[in-house]
Amino acid sequence: MSVPQILLIGHGAVAAEVRAAADSTGAFAVGAVLVRPEKVAAVQAELPGMTVIGSLKDLDFTPVVAAECASHSAVRAYGADLLLRGIDFVIASIGALTDDALYAELRAAAQKGGAKLILPAGAVPGIDALNAAMVGGVDKVSYVSRKPPGAWKGTPAEAAVKLDALTEPAVFYIGTARAAARDYPKNANVAATVALAGLGFDATEVRMIADPGVQANIHEITASGAFGDMHLVIRGKPLKSNPKTSSLAAYSTIRAILNCVRPVQI
């Protein structure tokens, strides 16, 4: 039996974890890596023996699933086309879905193409429980992201606090999941996931903290409703290659791919 082939979109830290999982599990193979056209030559040089393409027009096989591990712009560029082709689409950059028009386009494309838009749980636990609780009714959901100051570099947090000079925790953002995921696309995909599983982008409260006293990326979800009360905390280790990304976020993307190729989903 041939190994299922996937299309991998992106060439960053999460994509590297997906390629490694393909090798270690043997459950799937990366049939092609899709990057921006101007990056094809450089990425091909880094990945000898692997097919690297710069456009969906160059895709010469039908992948069992396409996995986006690149950026919000990649979701916009490729998502609807893939779904219309009937190809399931796993996205890591869930914050892209703060764009209501894009989200509606992807849902419509999935329905028309008979494919699934798959949103991994990412770096936080309990997304399944939160979404299940919505059946009975949820009254309030909040999310807190606490990371070392270095993890917030290159984001609007730099304009709010002096990250290198912090000696105690600094709350630099309080607001909705929509604005958090939009303005912190590399850090706040979790906020988008929590919002989509629960009360939505505008009713989900988000707080972001730069804390020099922690080494882990700490995610906290609090919810209440007909089901009872929920308080979940995870102290996740960041990827060594990218401190902005929790290792569990990469593993969650891999799990979503495995669920597409294995006979049993869990």
Residue list, annotated binding site for NAD(+): 123, 189
- Cα–Cα distance, 122 to 97 (Å, whole number): 14
Query: Is 219 considered catalytic here?
Result: yes
The 10 Å Cβ neighbour count of residue 2 is 5
Binding residues: 123, 189
- Cα–Cα distance, 16 to 242 (Å, whole number): 11
On whether the CB atoms of residues 230 and 158 are closer than 8 A, the answer is no
What lies within 8 Å, CB to CB, of 24 at 6+ separation is: none
Indicate which residue of 11, 72, 219, 231 is catalytic: 219
- Closest by CA to 237, choosing from 126, 167, 147, is 147
Sheet holding 170-176, edge to edge: 170-176, 204-210, 138-147, 217-225, 228-236
The string over 11-36, giving b where at least 16 C-beta atoms fall within 10 Å of a residue's C-beta and e elsewhere, is bbbbbbbbbebbeeeeebbbbbbbbb
> Annotated active-site positions, please?
219
